[in-house]
Amino acid sequence: MNCETTLPLLEAYLDNELDRADAREVEAHLDTCEACRNALGKLDDVRRALRDGALKFTAPPGLRERIAATQLANPEHTRRPRWFSVAAACALAFGAGGMSMHLLNSPQHDQTAHDVFASHWRALAATSPIDVASSDRHTVKPWFAGKVAQTPVVQDFADHGFALYGGRIDYVGDTRVPVLVYKHGQHVIDVFVLPTGTSLSSSTDQGYRLDTVDLGGQPAAIVSDMDAAETAKLRELLKGG
């Protein structure tokens, strides 16, 4: 990494929003570059000024009491939804290292879609959406081995206009998942290979589209800004392999 590639990542680094591989590269550059260290220092000055306790207001006691004393007009709406306790239990199991819970209930499933979109956007915002660059599936597949529980099926569809661009490891919730990255014209397409048993349905968010596909027995999510027809084409190719 050099200054040009490091500077745009400094804030995400400071905010602890970089994945470990990018964070390590930023750190390696910081070790050798005083200018970038100074830039980070200036960002940290802003942080320290704002994190000064004097800037954080606490609720006046009167407000707490006022809320506690407010009788709500329609109590049945305010009752905890039935899945809430299930979700809370799942969140605990998940935090403890469980991997299979995501799929027990539908709210979680919206969260999975949300996570997948967020990871895609974050990757687009980073300097490079890939950790390993290669159009050769024989390079990409072994790269995943040892990094994720299950290495995905890796195929290249350059002949059909969807060239394999590389791969990366990303997060969906707290789970590390392999992501295959394809290019189609100007579009960067992420294929998130999800843990077996993940249920997810197609959705769109701010012009981006998520479609599901079965990839050699594993559920996967295709995410990009391609239109429905182009997405369907890639979906067929992935399914057919």
Binding site for other proteins (CB under 8 A): 11-12, 15, 17, 42-43, 45-47, 49-52, 54-60, 62-64, 66-75, 77-81, 83-84, 87, 105-108, 110-111, 114, 118, 121-122, 124-125, 206
Closer Cβ to other proteins, 41 or 217, answer by number:
41
H helices present in 7-105, as ranges: 10-14, 20-32, 34-50, 61-69, 75-78, 82-95
Closer Cβ to other proteins, 67 or 96, answer by number:
67
Name residue, tokens 């974050």. 122
Buried/exposed 123-134: b ≥16 CB within 10 Å, e otherwise:
beebeebbbbeb
Q: What gap in Å lies between CA 209 and CA 33, rounded to an integer? A: 40
The least CB distance from residue 196 to other proteins, in Å, is 22
Paired residues of 133 in beta bridges:
166
The least CB distance from residue 81 to other proteins, in Å, is 7
Closer Cβ to other proteins, 75 or 240, answer by number:
75
Q: Quick check: 4 and 127 in contact, CB under 8 A?
A: no
Closer Cβ to other proteins, 106 or 150, answer by number:
106
Closer Cβ to other proteins, 110 or 236, answer by number:
110
The least CB distance from residue 135 to other proteins, in Å, is 27
Helix axes of 106-125 and 82-95: crossing angle, nearest 10 degrees: 50
The least CB distance from residue 137 to other proteins, in Å, is 30
The least CB distance from residue 78 to other proteins, in Å, is 4
Q: Quick check: 192 and 167 in contact, CB under 8 A?
A: no
Q: Quick check: 115 and 173 in contact, CB under 8 A?
A: yes
